[in-house]
Homo-oligomer: A and B are copies of this chain.
C-alpha cells in the first residue's frame, strides 16, 4: 500500500497526471517552484521514474526529435491515477511538513476544489497547533531564553501567524465562491 507520504515519488506521479513529461522536464519544473517543494537531483528523479514504471503506474515513450537528443516521455496510466487519488485523499496527516502540504495542494488542485478546501483546513489545524505549542514554550522559558532563542521563538510565532492569516483568507475566498474563476474547469 501507498507508503512514504513525504516522498517525491507520488508528487512526480502527480505532475505526470497534469502533463506528460521527461525526467529533465520534471527537474526544471521543480526548480521553478524552488524552495516551496525542494528540488531533487537527477539521482533521485530517474530512479523514481523507473520505480513508477516497474509498478505500472506510468508508461514511457522514447521521442526522438530531429534537432535535439531523444527524450523519454513518461505518461500516467489508469493504475497510476488510482494510486495517485489514494495518496492525495490520504488520511489527513496532521503535523506534516510545509513541503508535504504544498505538494499535496498542487496535486489536489487537479481534482476538486472541495479537496483543496479540506487540505487548507488540515493545514490550518497543523499551524494552529504549532503556534500554540510555541506559545507554551515561551511561557515555560520566560526570560531565561537567550537572545537567539527569543528571536527564533518570535520568528516562529510571526511566520505561523502570517500563514494562518493567508489560510483563513484563502479559505474564506474559496468557500464563498463555489464555482471557479481561476480555471475554466468545474461545473
CB closest residue in chain B, given A113? B147
Question: CB within 8 A of A146: which of B18, B34, B149, B153?
Answer: B18
Complex CA gap A150/B105 in Å reads 10
Kindly identify, within residues 86 to 116 of chain A, every residue whose CB is under 8 Å from any CB belonging to chain B.
Answer: 97, 102, 105-110, 113, 116
Asked whether A33 is an interface residue with its Cβ less than 8 Å from the other chain, the reply is yes
Partner-binding segment picked from A49-57, A76-84, A154-162: A154-162
Whether a CB of chain B sits under 8 angstroms from the CB of A130 is: yes
Inter-chain contacts of A154 with B (CB < 8 A)? 166, 170
Does A44 belong to the interface (CB within 8 Å)? no
**Cβ A109 vs Cβ B18 within 8 A:** no
CB contact between A36 and one of B37, B106, B156 (< 8 Å): that residue: B156
Q: Is there a chain B Cβ closer than 8 Å to A128's Cβ?
A: no
Chain B residue contacts of A185, Cβ below 8 A: 147
Q: At the interface, yes or no: A134 with Cβ under 8 Å from chain B?
A: yes
Please, how many angstroms separate the alpha-carbon atoms of A35 and B101 in the complex? 14
Q: Which residues from B are CB-within-8-Å of A109?
A: 146-151
CB distance from A72 to the nearest CB of B (A): 24
Q: List 18 A-B contacts (CB under 8 A).
A: A18-B146, A32-B140, A33-B137, A33-B152, A33-B153, A35-B156, A36-B152, A36-B153, A105-B151, A106-B149, A109-B146, A109-B149, A109-B150, A110-B148, A116-B148, A146-B183, A154-B166, A158-B166
